[in-house]
Amino acid sequence: MLIDGLQYANWSEKIFRQLREGGVDAIHVTIAYHENFRETVLNFEKWNRWFEQYPDLIMKGRWASDIDIARETGRTAVFFGFQNPSPIEDDIGLVEILHDLGARFMQLTYNNQSLLATGCYEAEDTGITRMGKQVIKEMNRVGLVIDMSHSADRSTIEAADISDRPIAITHANPHEWSPALRNKREDVIRAVTEKGGMLGFSVYPHHLKDKSDCTLESFCEMIARAADKYGAQHLGIGTDLCQDQPDSVVEWMRVGRWTKEIDYGEGSASNAGFPPMPPWFRDNRDFGNIEAGLHAVGMNAGEVSGIMGGNWYRFFAENFGPQKP
């Protein structure tokens, strides 16, 4: 089973076919960065049209059991998530509405302070807000997974503690391996994994050691070390693949509507667009390289199959439905 915990590609028939060529059974797809509720609904609508156009390649995913259907019918199940709480605006009631529409993940922040928590680019991390605590409770109730990929340390640790259900960091790497602002320190990863949460490893070059020149061996050794430290059962892949996106989309991701200035994030003015992918992972047909690389660094078959998809499947099965009383 092969599941990718996060992608934000410029979707097309070409990419849908590459998903099938790569044997990808399910993906978590970002459908909102800074969009409000109405704009997010339009993104659901866009995907509905793709499901109608390419029924032999993709299908909408709501529950883990949909991955079984996708596997039986040779398709990829697509699960939706938000990289920002902007789709709920300032209305906690929209959490359930969006879950009903098919949302399964929501980040509490995207780099900046939000109404719910602090992003990883803020100088001061004040933790989970009053509204954030209520939204976490509501997300737990309906089965919308809390994602802290772009959140600051204190906020992430508090979210893991406040949440009654496991939370996720869908796309990031250990800070000690590659000290990017977005990568996670040991105490943060431990707070998430010790409560049953998941960490998805990113191949986005700004999060890799040596960036685009990162070797497959280095990436896989990092995963093996994390498995020793946190338990292989809490780890998966969340590539953060942004295939075929124009550089203008990076600007939208980082700037949204909150500033008039260009925010270069972890890039620079001379490298403001999408960085080149490492040669061992260019698109969805390359997951086999990661799988082979994990075996090569000494991980056993059970650990590897879990990281490549089995762990995400279990997490989806346990966390996408309503909270049990």
What's the 3-state SS for 131-169? HHHHHHHHHHHHCCEEECCCECHHHHHHHHHHCCCCCEE
Amino acid at 127: G
Q: Span 138-148, mean pLDDT?
A: 98
What's the alpha-carbon Rg for the chain, to the nearest Å?
18
CATH code of the domain made up of 3-319: 3.20.20.140
The residues with which 241 forms a beta bridge, in sequence order, are 7
Residue 202 pLDDT greater than 90, yes or no? yes
Give per-residue pLDDT as tens, 145-184.
999 999 999 999 999 999 999 999 999 999 999 999 999 9
Question: Which pLDDT value is given to residue 24?
Answer: 98
Q: Would the pLDDT of 237 be above 60?
A: yes
Q: How confident is the model over 43-101, as pLDDT tens digits?
A: 999 999 999 999 999 999 999 999 999 999 999 999 999 999 999 999 999 999 999 99
Per-residue pLDDT band for 106 (boundaries 50, 70, 90) equals very high
- Asked if residue 268 has pLDDT above 70, the reply is no
Mean pLDDT across 95-108:
98
Between the alpha carbon of residue 279 and those of residues 34, 275, 286, the distances in Å are 31, 12, 9
- CB atoms near residue 46 (< 10 Å): 11
Residue 2 phi, psi (nearest 5)? -130, 115
CB 295: neighbour CB atoms within 10 A? 14
Q: Please, which residues have CB within 8 angstroms of residue 52's CB and are 6 or more apart in sequence?
A: none
Instruction: Report the run of H or E that residue 24 belongs to, with start and end.
Output: none
Measure CA of the first residue to CA of the last residue in the chain; give whole Å. Answer: 31
- According to the model, what pLDDT value does residue 264 have? 67
Res 255: pLDDT: 86
Using the predicted structure, report yes or no on whether residue 185 has a pLDDT greater than 60. yes
Average pLDDT estimate for 107-122:
97
